[in-house]
Amino acid sequence: MKIISAVNQLESFFLPYTQHLDTIKKNFDIIRDADLHFKKSTKNYNSAEFYNLRLQLSFSGFLTISILDLLFISKNILNSKHSWEKIYCMRYGYLIVYESIKTYNKNNPLINKAINEKFLLLKNEYKEISTALRRFKRGYDYERSIADIRNLTAGHIDDNFVTFYDTILNIDQDTAIECFATFINILMTMQEFISKLSRLSRIETESELDRLNTSIDSMKKEIGEMISKLSKDKS
């Protein structure tokens, strides 16, 4: 019964996170199209706000995909009847954990820059997420154990059969499930934070859009007045 309950709980997340992923893609397309429009129509246009927002949305999308993948993998570990099915899922679960942290490290400077320059009210919240991630890395031996599973059995396949076999044989199911559950919670918290950051950035971008639209309207008015003046001069 406990396994069925855990599986049902995992499955309850699939639909909302899939819908959220679709929303991120739609928002990304809107921002991209608006950016292209203003690049073509506005002189001296600065696309920095749009660029930063696109990066935030991309990172949010990646986090959502990682959450969905780990939910699916955790469900299949619990449902699997054969040990090799479980081993396969655990190997690629650790791969996702490893690559997700790499992607976080890549995006971390951008997030810190946005917080320090415009959204200092979020600094403590982000610090708590970073602390939780550091604690996770120490607790599950990210630098050695997780890295070895990734490097020897998933991201790459070690050409030494004994090394490969011994590595997968030493993967503990209970530890893996606990690790993935802990990491999913961190990803969910991080995803909520990035969504909040994107909403605040979107407000900044909308202000920029208002300014640009005002500038365009002003230019149109000036052009209209020039055309009107030229017509009068000709007559």
Judged against a pLDDT cut of 90, whether residue 36 lies above it is answered with no
Helices (H) and strands (E) counted in the chain, each on its own, are 8, 0
Mean pLDDT for the stretch of residues 70-89 = 93
Side-chain half-sphere CA neighbours of 137 within 13 A? 15
**Whole-model pTM?**
0.82
Give the mean pLDDT of 181-186.
94
What's the sign of the alpha-carbon dihedral 163, 169, 170, 176? positive
- More confident position, 176 or 234: 176
Residue 209's pLDDT is 44
Mean pLDDT computed over 105-121: 90
Distance between CA atoms of residues 172 and 176, nearest Å: 6
Indicate the domain borders of the chain: 2-200
Compute CA distances 197 → 30, 140, 200, whole Å: 17, 29, 5
Q: How many Cβ atoms from other residues are within 10 Å of residue 78's Cβ?
A: 17
Return the CA Rg of the chain.
24
